[in-house]
């Protein structure tokens, strides 16, 4: 069974969930029913240690080849298949696995202001009760220590926003014409034009998609006693 024709590879908290939902509405495209299979993040089973909540995330990895291929088994004949795992851009080893497995794939990269991205990332984990530090600046200050302790990439608030290094490595593996890079604000401010741009890049009909649904939007909870107690229990 063939592997995906295109992948949205980054960045986290830059609208990739909403983009995945929008592209799934196109009749010429088939998006994986699991939005983030994370298949190319490992060569086998994912790690077993990490930060708060990472064990649950690792259990969600689709790392067996047959399970990954099965995600695209229901694609209609002739449809282009795709998936969205926003950590592929950040991980050089994942980029190399992509090059080895799907060298002809088209890659979509959505970039968000790195400070906004980091704050949204931290808010996501804080709201979920998983981030133990209630101040983003202090949480960023613990990044190197967390990386050494094996915390998953979603905790790498600053590192995930170092797009220049990530793209420079990607362009040693894939020709630029196979990579579409655009800004998160384009998706928010000009959704129809941006979706048409993506469709032209993929070679499917334009004028079909006009809006991006609101997906994975996180509200910032106040640090109440109830939130602190729930967070401690979850961690």
Q: If the chain, 235 residues long, is cut into consecutive pieces of 10 residues, what is the mean pLDDT of each piece?
A: 93 97 98 97 94 92 96 96 98 98 98 97 95 96 96 97 98 98 96 98 97 64 51 47
Q: 3-state DSSP call for residue 86?
A: coil
The pLDDT value given to residue 220: 42
Q: Residue 28: inside a domain, yes or no?
A: yes
Residue environment code for 182-195, b if the CB has 16+ CB neighbours within 10 A, otherwise e: bbbebbeeebeebb
Q: What is the pLDDT of residue 227?
A: 46
* DSSP three-state, residue 186: helix
Is 234 inside any structural domain?
no
Radius of gyration of the chain (CA): 18
Establish if 230 belongs to a structural domain.
no
C-alpha to C-alpha distance for 147 and 156, rounded to whole angstroms: 7
Which residue's entry shows tokens 């600046």?
A: 137
Beta strand pairing call for 106-111 and 6-10: parallel
> What is the pLDDT, as a whole number, of residue 232?
54
Please indicate, yes or no, if residue 51 is contained in any of the structural domains. yes
How many domains would you assign to the chain? 1
Q: DSSP labels for 29-72?
A: EEE-SSS---GGG-SSSPPS--STTHHHHHHT---SHHHHHHTT
Q: Which helix (H) or strand (E) holds 6?
A: strand 6-10
pLDDT at 214: 77
Evaluate whether residue 227 is within a structural domain. no
pLDDT of residue 49: 87
Q: What CATH number does residue 205 fall under?
A: 3.40.50.300
Q: Is residue 224 part of a domain?
A: no
Domain that holds residue 177: 6-121+158-217
- Residue 150 counted as domain residue: no
In-domain check, residue 232: no
């Amino acid at each position: 069974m063939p592997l995906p024709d295109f992948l949205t590879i980054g960045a986290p908290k830059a609208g990739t969930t909403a983009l995945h939902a929008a592209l799934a509405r196109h009749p010429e495209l088939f998006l994986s029913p699991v939005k983030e299979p994370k298949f190319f993040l490992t060569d086998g089973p994912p790690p077993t240690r990490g930060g708060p909540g990472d064990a649950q995330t690792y259990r969600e990895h689709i790392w067996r080849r047959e399970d990954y291929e099965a995600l695209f088994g229901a694609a209609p004949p002739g449809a282009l298949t795709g998936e969205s795992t926003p950590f592929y851009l950040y991980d050089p080893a994942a980029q190399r696995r992509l090059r080895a497995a799907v060298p002809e794939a088209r890659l979509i990269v959505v970039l968000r202001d790195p400070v906004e991205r980091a704050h949204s990332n931290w808010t996501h984990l804080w709201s979920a009760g998983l981030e133990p530090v209630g101040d983003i600046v202090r949480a960023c200050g613990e990044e190197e220590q967390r990386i050494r302790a094996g915390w998953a990439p979603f905790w790498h608030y600053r590192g995930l926003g170092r797009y220049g290094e990530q793209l420079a490595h990607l362009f040693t593996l894939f020709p630029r014409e196979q990579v579409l890079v655009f800004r998160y604000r384009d998706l928010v401010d000009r959704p129809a034009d941006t979706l048409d741009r993506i469709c032209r890049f993929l070679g499917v009909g334009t004028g079909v998609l006009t809006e991006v649904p609101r997906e994975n939007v996180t509200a910032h909870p106040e640090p109440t006693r109830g939130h602190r107690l729930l967070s401690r229990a979850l961690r």
